[in-house]
Amino acid sequence: MCGIVGYVGSQDAIDVVIEGLRRLEYRGYDSAGVAIVDPAGGMRTERRAGALSNLDKQLAEGSRIAGNVGIGHTRWATHGAPTDRNAHPHVDCSGAVAVVHNGIIENFAALRERLESAGHEFASDTDTEVVAHLLEVEIGSTDTDLAAAMRAVCSQLVGAFTLVAVHRDRPGVVVAARRSSPLVVGVGDGEMFLASDVAAFIAHTREAVALGQDQVVEIRSDGYTVTDLQGGTTDGQPFHVDWNLAAAEKGGHDFFMQKEIEEQPTAVADTLRGHLVDGRIVLDETRLAEQDLREIDKVFVVACGTAFHSGLIAKYAIEHWTRVPVEVEIASEFRYRDPVLDRDTLVVAVSQSGETADTLEAVRHAREQRARVLSICNTNGAQIPRESDAVLYTRSGPEVAVASTKCFLTQVTAGYLLGLALAQVQGKKYEDEVAADFAALEAMPRLIAQTLSTMDPVRALARELAGSETILFLGRHVGYPVALEGALKLKELSYMHAEGFPAGELKHGPIALIDDGMPVVVVVPDPGARGVLHDKVLSNLAEVRARGARTIVIATAGDERVRRLADHLIEVPSTPTLYAPLVTTVPLQVFAAAVADARGYDVDKPRNLAKSVTVE
Ligand code: F6R
């Protein structure tokens, strides 16, 4: 949600900033802008509504912008429509300060009123612009440095923000601040970077520094200084980025989502690696004693969107293996209904970005109620893992496409690891049982790869069905969250109406929707699945087919009984019941991307969305 870049060094800032914005465009693409400080004097600001390519075009038409210091922004609009005038950077009355911002300044209306009555003139409808004017006030006619002014301004702000500013008359520095929004420093040789995400500067350096809450950083070409809001010098958290530029590029694929779907076997294998040590499942980070986990008597999984669907799958595994009850909640609903939490409750926050505001607030609420918090996250050093008692990292590498794919599979994988860890620590599984379940999980990357190698007919079917008005998705047991995920992927990418239902629920109402020829995707469990699961789904399949549905069936290869009920059969390898989502989701991801592509939409950047949602 909004991408931010800052640079000080010896390269042309405009090139570094635009390249950084290109890598952050997944965070928002409503508008883009830059401000470059020219050491010879002056500052130039350019901004444009729409995708970064619009700004690129505008820059190509004008004279080249000189300067080695600059900031840039790609926006996902919150306050103010996505127009030229609301595009960042925003400047003060004199045009000396330029600011870019990610987040929401909740008290901006009161601040704006105060500034306007003091004579400041506003040129946009954004909350951000107050910061430019507040910096102008703090700097005044004195020689206050930009970092000191930023500290004074941040003390007046309520809300979540990453702010990055430059000043025309202080040419060698860029200053930034953060509260509950992401900001990392990139440490180069004679050059320094600031960004919402390391992807922005990975082409230049893999050495980074994560900043804490309410910290202000000043970068210069020779280094950086971090202070708290009182001006005391403090430290950031240095880390090495363990993926490289190639991971952040399309690598010959038409779009990032396609590449990320293909990366799933590796991502799942990487997520499992090193988690079984001397017969015990280990977490990546924990400040919890074994005793704390032993005493857990209730689990809540909180998450949004696709991550929520991974939580629904985790419920089946955790409850089955531990007999501890699990509730799965949409994070934005969690705290408002006052859930019953105590020290023996484990709240599991699942988030790819680790910065989703709804999930972060659910974590904070859980901690206030003294519950234990474990997060499943793909971003090292993000706010959610920082505020958790324990962390399991999904090792997917950067996920650039807005629609989550490989992170979904790795979140599902991490959910299994958590289930096994809890079962083990609570004495519900012996070491050899855990080892067997873990070995079966380790076989999954090969089965995912096998599934991926058979996707051409799925793409062809997607092209055939691209003109449909509605597609329904049905599943039972772990197939139900898979159906929800299939429907979400299709909606968000192709803007086609889609719904996921528990297969058995259809007859209680939604079956009325079935019309002659309506495509219905049915996720069928493995015939070896426990109990009568397979038979029941086959009955549901027969029910929709009898009413004219065109059935698209995802089933285990060799499942002969399903064949006569399928208008289109998509076969996946046989797996243990609980692990089936790791293969059955794959065709649905491929299908959604191919439908969107056939309809002519940008698969990586669906309309109205942003990768990381840092507002509630
Ligand atoms: C859908 C999608 C979103 C995210 C959701 C949570 O494809 O990507 O539904 O899953 O916004 O994001 P994270 O995992 O970053 O908390």
pLDDT in tens, 566-576: 999 999 999 99
Of 301, 306, 334, 394, the residue with max ligand 1 atoms within 8 A of its CB, to mutate for a pocket test, comes to 306
Query: Are 502 and 417 in the same domain?
Result: no
Pick the residue whose CA is nearest to atom 3 on ligand 1.
305
What integer pLDDT is reported at residue 511 of this predicted model? 86
Which DSSP category does 211 fall into? -
Other beta carbons within 10 Å of 528: 13
Query: Are 181 and 93 in the same domain?
Result: yes
102 CB near ligand 1 (under 6 Å): no
Q: For the segment 96-111, what is each residue's pLDDT rounded down to a tens digit?
A: 999 999 988 989 999 9
Atom of ligand 1 nearest to the CA of 307: 10
Is the Cβ–Cβ distance between 225 and 148 less than 8 Å?
Answer: no
SS3 44: strand
Instruction: Categorize the per-residue pLDDT at 438 as very low, low, confident or very high, splitting at 50, 70 and 90.
Output: very high
CA–centroid distance, 572 to ligand 1, in Å, is 26
Mean pLDDT across the chain, nearest whole number? 93
CA–centroid distance, 611 to ligand 1, in Å, is 7
Residue type, 288: L
> Residue 486 and residue 513: Cα distance in Å, rounded?
18
Which one of 205, 220, 247 terminates a domain? 247
Q: At what angle do helices 479-494 and 305-322 cross, to 10 degrees?
A: 170
CA–centroid distance, 257 to ligand 1, in Å, is 14
Q: Is residue 610 one of the residues assigned to a domain?
A: no
Q: Which helix (H) or strand (E) holds 239?
A: strand 237-240
Helices (H) then strands (E): counts for the chain: 20, 28
Residue of 115, 88, 82 whose CA lies nearest to 34: 88
What integer pLDDT is reported at residue 1 of this predicted model? 67
CA–centroid distance, 143 to ligand 1, in Å, is 44
> Residue 387 and residue 382: Cα distance in Å, rounded?
9
Query: Are 28 and 148 in the same domain?
Result: yes
Of 363, 613, 614, 616, the residue with max ligand 1 atoms within 8 A of its CB, to mutate for a pocket test, comes to 613
540 CB near ligand 1 (under 6 Å): no
Domain containing 562 — which CATH number?
3.40.50.10490
Query: Are 412 and 493 in the same domain?
Result: no
356 CB near ligand 1 (under 6 Å): yes
Query: Are 579 and 592 in the same domain?
Result: yes
180 CB near ligand 1 (under 6 Å): no
Other beta carbons within 10 Å of 144: 14
Q: Is residue 607 one of the residues assigned to a domain?
A: no
What integer pLDDT is reported at residue 577 of this predicted model? 95
Q: For the segment 385-429, what is each residue's pLDDT rounded down to a tens digit?
A: 989 999 999 999 888 899 999 999 999 999 999 999 999 999 999
Q: Kind of pairing, strands 159-167 and 174-179?
A: antiparallel
Is the Cβ–Cβ distance between 392 and 411 less than 8 Å?
Answer: no
> Residue 428 and residue 205: Cα distance in Å, rounded?
46
Question: Is there a catalytic annotation at residue 429?
Answer: no
> Residue 147 and residue 176: Cα distance in Å, rounded?
8
Domain containing 38 — which CATH number?
3.60.20.10
Q: For the segment 518-552, what is each residue's pLDDT rounded down to a tens digit?
A: 999 999 999 987 668 999 999 999 999 999 999 99
Query: Are 347 and 200 in the same domain?
Result: no
What b-and-e string marks burial along 250-259, b requiring 16 or more CB atoms within 10 Å of the CB?
beeeebbbbb
Residue of 577, 557, 555 whose CA lies nearest to 565: 555
Q: Is residue 497 one of the residues assigned to a domain?
A: yes
359 CB near ligand 1 (under 6 Å): yes
> Residue 143 and residue 145: Cα distance in Å, rounded?
6
Is the Cβ–Cβ distance between 218 and 46 less than 8 Å?
Answer: no
Q: For the segment 371-389, what is each residue's pLDDT rounded down to a tens digit?
A: 999 999 998 778 899 899 9
Region of 12 (left: φ > 0; alpha: ψ -120 to 50; beta: rest) is beta
Q: At what angle do helices 444-452 and 581-598 cross, to 10 degrees?
A: 30
SS3 90: strand
> Residue 586 and residue 405: Cα distance in Å, rounded?
8
Least confident range of 73-77, 108-112, 274-278: 73-77
Atom of ligand 1 nearest to the CA of 407: 14
Atom of ligand 1 nearest to the CA of 356: 16
What integer pLDDT is reported at residue 26 of this predicted model? 77
Q: Is residue 449 one of the residues assigned to a domain?
A: no
Which one of 214, 247, 280 terminates a domain? 247
What integer pLDDT is reported at residue 142 of this predicted model? 64
Atom of ligand 1 nearest to the CA of 612: 15
Domain count, the chain: 3
307 CB near ligand 1 (under 6 Å): yes
CA–centroid distance, 306 to ligand 1, in Å, is 5
CA–centroid distance, 603 to ligand 1, in Å, is 15
Query: Are 143 and 261 in the same domain?
Result: no
Q: Is residue 138 one of the residues assigned to a domain?
A: yes
Q: Is residue 611 one of the residues assigned to a domain?
A: no
Structure tokens at 88: 């960042």
Query: Are 496 and 463 in the same domain?
Result: yes
% residues pLDDT > 90 (the chain) = 80
Query: Are 408 and 492 in the same domain?
Result: no
Residue of 236, 229, 189 whose CA lies nearest to 209: 236
Residue 282 CA to its chain's centroid (Å): 24
Query: Are 193 and 328 in the same domain?
Result: no
Query: Are 75 and 155 in the same domain?
Result: yes
Q: Is the pLDDT of residue 247 over 90?
A: no
> Residue 3 and residue 26: Cα distance in Å, rounded?
8
Mean pLDDT calculated for residue range 462-486: 97
Other beta carbons within 10 Å of 456: 9
Q: Is residue 481 one of the residues assigned to a domain?
A: yes
Residue of 493, 486, 492, 455 whose CA lies nearest to 471: 486
> Residue 507 and residue 266: Cα distance in Å, rounded?
40
Q: For the segment 156-171, what is each residue's pLDDT rounded down to a tens digit?
A: 999 889 999 999 998 8
Q: Is residue 15 one of the residues assigned to a domain?
A: yes
Which residues are paired to 340 by β-bridges? Answer: none
333 contact partners, CB below 8 Å, separation of at least 6? none
Residue of 46, 28, 127, 132 whose CA lies nearest to 84: 46
Which one of 385, 409, 442 terminates a domain? 442
Query: Are 422 and 463 in the same domain?
Result: no
Q: Is the pLDDT of residue 243 over 80?
A: no
Domain with 93, as residue range(s), is 3-247
Is the Cβ–Cβ distance between 118 and 158 less than 8 Å?
Answer: no
Which one of 2, 154, 304, 377 is the catalytic residue? Answer: 2
Higher-confidence residue of 48 and 26: namely: 48
Is the Cβ–Cβ distance between 192 and 9 less than 8 Å?
Answer: yes
Phi–psi pair at 61, nearest 5 degrees:
-80, -25
Q: Is the pLDDT of residue 609 over 90?
A: no
